[in-house]
Amino acid sequence: MNMYSTFQKYLQNELAGIQSAGLYKNERIIVSPQGASIRLSTGQEALNFCANNYLGLSDNKELIEAAKQAMDSRGFGMSSVRFICGTQDLHKQLEAAIAGFFGTEDSILYAACFDANGGVFEPLLNDRDAIISDSLNHASIIDGVRLCKAVRYRYANADMEDLEKQLKLAQSQRFRLIVTDGVFSMDGNVAPMDKIYELAQKYDAMIMVDESHSAGVVGKTGRGTTELFDLRGKVEIITGTLGKSFGGAIGGFTTGKKEIIDMLRQRSRPYLFSNSIPPAITAAGIKMFEIMDRTNELQDKLHANTDYFVEKMKAAGFDIKPTQSSICAVMLYDAKLSQDMAAKLLDRGIYVTGFYYPVVPKDLARIRVQISAGHEKEHLDKCITAFTKTGKELGVIK
């Protein structure tokens, strides 16, 4: 017996276990651009309500044109990390645009926000310091914290009493960093940044917020939670992605205090040892922030769409988690019901995903609907009608 044949049996067993627990992830194949309306490999057309395409920019013509032009003027790939020969004028321009958008001092690009979060803690903090992290923070924050030797404290999701308790426990450490997602992706709730800021003042701590689901969405002009809570320039570290609202391609960033960004350029491993993002993506990113500066139309439409959807769904009798983002959790509680309902909705041309344990707590299964500025009123109405019909058939609403 060679090692792989034993290992193969082990993997086959584990995979069968995932299958029989009903947790195996199958991927649906899309054969059109990402957008409000998509075509699947089965030939079915569906309205997409489960993309992170909040501003509807995934198939935006201006971004595509900017990407094409950059391929002509700056080539296809960089074949280098930034500090050797992977920095173009475009990368510096995009970093400046990100800082301008968030009202911060400087920014640093990564291949993804997963890398930004993976590379932010270890270079800045050590075993004399404390990281105080929300229990529902994104996997990439959890992994990044694991790579750092700082003492870890965890507080219950958005629970400010618990945060205060943890801050008290962390008083003997040298530096304290509170870490939170801006919007929590399963409920759509916004981190209470005003309270977090007060506690950070009171107990002498710094703040890092991951704006992946909030940038472009939250706040009147989509500048994220620091806009919503009037804290622009007051948070030390913001991380985010170019893979959601901001065109949805790929790329991540950390933005904030100048010296922090400077240190990350010197010591952050996913930055130092991973390739530069390509010119096309970088140029489209610059164009994207130009659009953000030029107009607030997309944010206005997104907010109006979200309000409309939530109001109509509540009126239809659905149990919707309070949301301050464009994530709308339709609570069903029962795991099987969430899967049956999502399947029936797809038959009706509405693409949504049902989430259940262990992705969300036991008995809190739900369908997560994500609203986009790319949706027209007729799309929203179709979705609401399909939900209402299906909800009645399955006894979710009367």
Contact (CB, 8 A) for 49 and 345:
no
Contact (CB, 8 A) for 356 and 365:
yes
Segment holding 393, helix H or strand E: helix 377-393
Residue type, 160: M
Interface with ligand PLP: number of residues (CB under 6 A) = 14
The active-site residue out of 140, 185, 274, 276 is 185
Structure-token match 């990368």, residue found: 91
Among 95, 129, 210, 236, binds ligand PLP (CB under 6 A): 210
Active site residue 172: no
Min. distance of Cβ 106 from ligand PLP in angstroms? Answer: 19
Cα 295 → chain centroid: 23
Burial class (CB in 10 A: 0-12, 13-18, 19+), 338: buried
Q: Is 225 in the site for ligand PLP (CB under 6 A)?
A: no
Task: Rank residues 218 and 380 by Cβ distance to ligand PLP and give the closer one.
Answer: 218
Task: Rank residues 144 and 391 by Cβ distance to ligand PLP and give the closer one.
Answer: 144
Tokens standing for 377? 């009123």
The active-site residue out of 91, 213, 301, 375 is 213
Rounded to a whole number, what is the distance in angstroms from the first to the last CA of the chain? 61
Active site residue 244: yes
Contacts (CB under 6 A) with ligand PLP, residues 245-304: 252
The active-site residue out of 244, 287, 301, 303 is 244
Among 212, 282, 305, 326, binds ligand PLP (CB under 6 A): 212
Burial class (CB in 10 A: 0-12, 13-18, 19+), 30: middle
Task: Rank residues 140 and 388 by Cβ distance to ligand PLP and give the closer one.
Answer: 140
Residue 28 backbone zone (phi > 0: left; psi -120 to 50: alpha; other: beta): beta
Min. distance of Cβ 180 from ligand PLP in angstroms? Answer: 10
| 390: phi then psi, degrees, rounded to nearest 5 | -65, -40
Among 82, 138, 223, 366, binds ligand PLP (CB under 6 A): 138
Min. distance of Cβ 140 from ligand PLP in angstroms? Answer: 5
Strand order in the sheet with 327-333: 327-333, 365-370, 353-355
Stretch of residues binding ligand PLP (CB under 6 A), selected from 23-31, 209-217, 332-340, 382-390 = 209-217
| 106: phi then psi, degrees, rounded to nearest 5 | -160, 165
Active site residue 79: no
Q: Please report, as ranges, the residues that interact with ligand PLP according to CB under 6 A.
A: 112-114, 117, 138, 140, 181, 185, 210, 212-213, 241, 243, 252
Active site residues: 185, 213, 244
